[in-house]
């Protein structure tokens, strides 16, 4: 049980960093491509609000807050799994291993998100962003996971 508690603590840190970086990328790309920084984050709430969320451009509690919280919890979920399976090891907190772990975790998450889950449960931000911007958002998730692992190394 202690290993899961440690994974949860680490996952909250790394998932939060990954969320912050990816939301920043989504907001910048959304402003450029959809005319709205909130649009890609709003789209994440489509699992709850349906197609309306994919077309909402304004920041709203209904769409933006739900989209942000969903994205944040998703990032923490994947970060906790990574921390539990590999990230808790000291060698996982070296720069090359942290980057590799962030990339691998993000690749697995996106493969599952787009290959196994129904469309309604897919991230959604890809509906408002170009393919390069969607890839950049996933790259920001990977970078955030790696950065979070390195921050934890400094703390340890």
Report pLDDT digits (tens) over 65-77: 999 999 999 999 9
Per-residue pLDDT at 156 exceeds 60: no
45 DSSP 8-state letter: T
CA angle at 113 for the pair 112 and 115, rounded to the nearest 5°: 60
Cα–Cα distance between 61 and 130 in angstroms, integer?
Answer: 25
Model pTM score: 0.93
* Structural domain count, the chain: 1
Residue 139 tokens read as: 């790259």
pLDDT tens readout for residues 30-45: 999 999 999 999 999 9
Structural domain including 46 reads 2-155
Can you give the pLDDT at residue 1? 67
> Do the Cβ atoms of 86 and 102 come closer than 8 Å?
no
Position with higher pLDDT, 57 vs 155: 57
Segments in 50-130 forming alpha helices (H): 51-55, 66-82, 95-115
Tell me the CA distances in angstroms from 156 to 81, 149, 151, one per residue in order: 20, 10, 9
Tell me the pLDDT tens digit for each residue of 98-143.
Answer: 999 999 999 999 999 999 999 999 999 999 999 999 999 999 999 9
């Amino acid at each position: 049980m202690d290993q899961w508690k440690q994974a949860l603590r680490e996952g909250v840190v790394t998932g939060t960093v990954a969320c912050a970086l990816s939301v920043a990328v989504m907001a910048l790309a959304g402003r450029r491509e959809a005319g709205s920084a909130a649009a890609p984050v709003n789209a994440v709430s489509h699992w709850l609000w349906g197609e309306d969320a994919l077309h909402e451009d304004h920041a709203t509690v209904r769409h933006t807050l739900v989209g942000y919280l969903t994205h944040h919890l998703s990032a923490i979920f994947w970060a906790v799994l990574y921390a539990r399976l590999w990230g808790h090891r000291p060698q996982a907190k070296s720069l090359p291993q942290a980057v590799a772990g962030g990339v691998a975790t993000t690749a697995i998450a996106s493969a599952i998100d787009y290959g196994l889950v129904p469309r309604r449960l897919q991230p959604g931000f890809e509906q408002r962003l170009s393919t390069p911007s969607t890839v950049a958002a996933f790259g920001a998730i990977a970078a955030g996971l790696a950065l979070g692992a390195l921050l934890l190394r400094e703390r340890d």
